Amino acid sequence: MTVDVDCVVIGAGVVGLAIARALQQSGRDVILLEKERSFGTETSSRNSEVIHAGIYYPPGSLKAELCVRGRDLLYAYCGARGVPHARLGKIIVATTATEVPTLERYLATARTNGADDLEWLDTTRLQAFEPAVHAVCGLLSPSTGIIDSHAYMRALSDDFTMAGGEFIRASPVSSGRVLHGQIELCLADDEATVIKARAVVNSGGLYAPNIAAAIEGFPREHVPCPRYAIGHYYVLAGRSPFRHLVYPVAGNGGLGVHVTLDLSGAARFGPDVRWRDSIDYEFDDSQREAFVEAIRTYYPDMEAKDLRPGYTGIRPKVSGPEEPSHDFYIQNGADYGAAGLINLFGIESPGLTASLAIAERVCALIQAG
Ligand SMILES: Cc1cc2nc3c(=O)[nH]c(=O)nc-3n(C[C@H](O)[C@H](O)[C@H](O)COP(=O)(O)OP(=O)(O)OC[C@H]3O[C@@H](n4cnc5c(N)ncnc54)[C@H](O)[C@@H]3O)c2cc1C
């Protein structure tokens, strides 16, 4: 069976859903293809569910720009659509005097990025805000929050289908071809469906580089090598002693083992950073002591027995452990002889926060093309 359509979005994670919705609502005819039976079963349901303020990212980067814009769009969307969320605020702590300059750098970077509501907390104020936390000083980010990411994806999916979009599940894209003025996609479904589209957005998350590499006519040398950095989360047994999200200063490849709270008030710690060669979500409990040690730097009462294995998530990286951290990579195929193809690579954190802003950006590229 061969189908001709206007636009295809590959991947129903939070980013693909936001893009499909925005394109459909802008008057395009969109098919959303997902390899699984439901939306959001990969990275979009394996993260910290934090609405980031835009503090850490290098000024001028896509991460900085789209996080700040996306955060504002997301709070407005949650309000309008009744998506459960809470603007709890987050505190980044310096646990030693040597970490204080890092907090000062965050403050300056955040202001340049447009996250301009941060407050400096001295030891006394920090203690008043978070009595269980021990640190020299902290930075309060009042506009950091948490979101029910499943409810958010459900709302995006409903918007998309209500606007007339077609969401086809259990339809893995297995290969494709660049044609004149169209992109052809082959599905590994029972009908061996072939879809020809004027615009294709590859929002396959961890698999996006593999999808791009399987499109004949797209130059392989412009497909980044996928890298995987798994993060583990432990859940804290019993009542949470925290009122805010609490973060140490960021480490290599991640934001450090931090405290996040879910909407029921339960606390979880994570994610750590471990590099992997393949996509495997298995929970490895062997680093529990390392977790406890990392948490004790700011929460001295932490006991190993109070940690319960939670879940894991894998960061879709396109740079390795020894390389500088990469930016979001929104690649316009028109620059590489594949007009109509947009590839999204390396959409790691803050991709959930930035999802609506990424969608705006991708729509603008497609409308311009
Ligand atoms: C540990 C961790 C913590 C994070 N914490 C936060 C946070 O607190 N705040 C924040 O803003 N961001 C956070 N992020 C980042 C955020 O989760 C991601 O940026 C976001 O979920 C990416 O969404 P996506 O739609 O690009 O990818 P995904 O959710 O991975 O979706 C891709 C979809 O494509 C589908 N797919 C793949 N291949 C095919 C194919 N061949 N055919 C059809 N479909 C296909 C997959 O099944 C999947 O559903 C975190 C990420 C990680 C890993």
| Dist. CA 242 → ligand 1 center (Å) | 28
Q: Is 263 helix (H, G, I), strand (E, B) or coil?
A: coil
Instruction: Check: CB of residue 327 under 8 Å from CB of residue 61.
Output: yes
**28 has pLDDT over 80:** yes
Nearest atom (ligand 1) to Cα of 229 = 53
Residues of the chain with CATH 3.50.50.60: 2-46+150-225+325-368
Ligand 1: which of 9, 32, 39, 207 to mutate, most ligand atoms within 8 Å of CB?
A: 207
CATH superfamily of 2-46+150-225+325-368: FAD/NAD(P)-binding domain (3.50.50.60)
Instruction: Give me 57's structure tokens.
Output: 């990212």
Separation between Cα atoms, residue 17 and residue 67, nearest integer Å:
17
| Residue 311 one-letter amino acid | Y
Query: Cα 24 to the chain's mean position, in Å?
Result: 22
* Whether the CB of 310 sits within 6 Å of ligand 1: no
| Dihedral sign, Cα of residue 354, residue 360, residue 364, residue 365 | positive
Structure-token pair, residue 360: 């705006």
pLDDT at 357: 98
- Kindly give, in sequence order, each residue whose CB lies less than 8 Å from that of residue 9, ignoring residues fewer than 6 positions away: 16, 19, 20, 23, 30, 31, 32, 33, 200, 201, 203
Token pair belonging to 324 = 């500088």
Compute the average pLDDT of residues 269-282: 96
CA–CA dist 139, 143 (Å, integer): 12
Element (H, E) at 15: helix 14-25
> Rounded distance, CA 175 to CA 48, Å?
32
Question: What is the rounded CA–CA span in Å between residue 251 and residue 233?
Answer: 16
Band (253; pLDDT cuts 50, 70, 90): low
Q: Is 272 in the pocket of ligand 1 (CB under 6 A)?
A: no
pTM of the model: 0.97
Q: Is 313 exposed, middle or buried (0-12, 13-18, 19+ CB in 10 A)?
A: buried
Q: Is 14 helix (H, G, I), strand (E, B) or coil?
A: helix
Name the one residue in this structure whose structure tokens are 């999204």.
344
- DSSP 3-state of 207: helix
Confidence label for 252 from pLDDT (cuts 50, 70 and 90) = low
Per-residue confidence (pLDDT) for residue 272, from 0 to 100: 93
CATH of domain 90-142+227-317: 3.30.9.10
pLDDT, tens digit, 9 for 90 and up, residues 96-119? 999 999 999 999 999 999 999 999
- What is the location of CATH 3.30.9.10 in the chain? 90-142+227-317
d(CA 313, CA 273) in angstroms, rounded, equals 10
Please write the tens of the pLDDT for every residue from 142-156: 999 999 999 999 999
Place of tokens 């998350």: 205
Query: Given the structure tokens 């495997």, which residue do they identify?
Result: 280
**Ligand 1 lined by 11 (C-beta under 6 Å):** yes
- Amino acid letter at 269? F
